[in-house]
């Protein structure tokens, strides 16, 4: 593989042509609060074990991106300890007893600096990989992600992480409107709800790839190895 040469990956609705040197792996919110018991995901009434199948394929993709010295970025959804960036509507949404900012088994829920807010150990960032702290569902809203990508000449994104229909979908839509090509490997994204996962993928690839492409990590690994 030559990082500057365009290669094609099997994908829907048609092959995704990408140039590895300008294609970042963007891993969305693989945080303990979403993937481990006692966090925000479980607080919303979800079964967190449903997301854990995404860990291994993400590890494999991440290992290849690192080995080939291609750009990797991670995001974390969460808020300042003073909750200044937490909209009151988001704080009370769900009407649960404990909400964002309250104490939980892994520290204050979805608060930056707390154990639950951090990325799971299996996919922990290494030096040189940008970590974007985002207050919203989309990774571009109120962050410097777009500036970082432009400064590094990145034009294409492989978007993975959780959850398919919430933060992954929102980020892909935001990226698409800013001119990025996005490929979503279906085994590397997950949802607490299988029907919403399927719908989230369909929404991306429908209408000729209205927001982007959907593939499987095995097809990406095949062309990169
Ligand atoms: N609840 C849910 O499905 N997701 C989120 O709240 N955030 C992310 O998707 N990261």
23, 167, 182, 188: the catalytic one is 167
> At residue 38, does pLDDT exceed 90?
no
If pLDDT is split at 50, 70 and 90, which confidence band does 35 have? very high
Mean pLDDT of 158-169: 98
Per-residue confidence (pLDDT) for residue 39, from 0 to 100: 87
Q: Over the stretch 96-112, which tens digit does the pLDDT of each residue have?
A: 888 999 999 999 999 99
If pLDDT is split at 50, 70 and 90, which confidence band does 43 have? confident
Residues 6 or more apart from 107 whose CB is under 8 A from it?
114, 115, 116, 117
- Residue 182 annotated among the catalytic residues of the structure: no
Residue 55 near residue 123, CB atoms below 8 Å: yes
If pLDDT is split at 50, 70 and 90, which confidence band does 211 have? very high
Residue 191 near residue 160, CB atoms below 8 Å: no
For ligand 1, the distance from its centroid to the CA atom of residue 159, given in whole angstroms, is: 15
Residue 223 near residue 9, CB atoms below 8 Å: yes
For ligand 1, the distance from its centroid to the CA atom of residue 41, given in whole angstroms, is: 7
Ligand 1 lined by 162 (C-beta under 6 Å): yes
50, 134, 137, 205: the catalytic one is 134
For ligand 1, the distance from its centroid to the CA atom of residue 15, given in whole angstroms, is: 29
Atom of ligand 1 nearest to the CA of 168: 9
Q: Mean pLDDT in the chain?
A: 96
- The fold adopted by the segment(s) 35-151+178-188+208-225 is Rossmann fold (3.40.50)
Percent of the chain exceeding pLDDT 70 equals: 100
Q: Give residue for tokens 């007893």.
A: 97
Q: Over the stretch 152-161, which tens digit does the pLDDT of each residue have?
A: 999 999 999 9
- Residue 167 annotated among the catalytic residues of the structure: yes
Q: Over the stretch 132-148, which tens digit does the pLDDT of each residue have?
A: 999 999 999 999 999 99
Rounded CA separation 195/105 (Å): 29
Q: Over the stretch 8-28, which tens digit does the pLDDT of each residue have?
A: 999 999 999 999 999 999 999
- Residue 5 annotated among the catalytic residues of the structure: no
For ligand 1, the distance from its centroid to the CA atom of residue 40, given in whole angstroms, is: 9
> At residue 3, does pLDDT exceed 90?
no
Atom of ligand 1 nearest to the CA of 41: 1
Per-residue confidence (pLDDT) for residue 96, from 0 to 100: 84
Atom of ligand 1 nearest to the CA of 192: 3
Instruction: Give the residue, out of 47, 167, 188, 190, with the most ligand 1 atoms within 8 A of its beta carbon, to mutate for a pocket test.
Output: 167
């Amino acid at each position: 593989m030559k990082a500057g040469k365009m290669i094609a990956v099997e994908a829907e609705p048609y092959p995704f042509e990408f140039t590895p040197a300008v294609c970042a792996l963007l891993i969305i919110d693989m945080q303990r609060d979403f993937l481990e018991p006692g966090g925000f995901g479980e607080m919303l009434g979800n079964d967190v074990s449903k997301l854990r199948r995404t860990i291994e394929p993400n590890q494999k993709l991440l290992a290849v991106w690192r080995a080939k010295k291609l750009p990797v970025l991670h995001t974390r959804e969460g808020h300042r300890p003073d909750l200044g960036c937490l909209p009151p509507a988001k704080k009370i949404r769900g009407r649960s007893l404990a909400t964002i900012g309250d104490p939980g088994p892994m520290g204050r829920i979805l608060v930056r600096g707390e154990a639950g807010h951090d990325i799971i150990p299996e996919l922990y960032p290494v030096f040189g990989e940008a970590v974007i702290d985002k207050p919203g569902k989309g990774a571009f809203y109120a962050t410097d992600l777009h500036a970082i990508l432009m400064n590094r000449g990145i034009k294409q994104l492989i978007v993975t992480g959780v959850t398919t229909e919430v933060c992954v979908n929102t980020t892909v839509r935001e990226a698409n409107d800013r001119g990025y090509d996005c490929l979503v490997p279906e085994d590397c994204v997950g949802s607490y709800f299988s029907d919403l996962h399927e719908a989230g993928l369909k929404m991306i690839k429908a209408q000729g790839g209205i927001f982007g492409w959907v593939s499987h990590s095995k097809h990406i690994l095949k062309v990169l190895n």
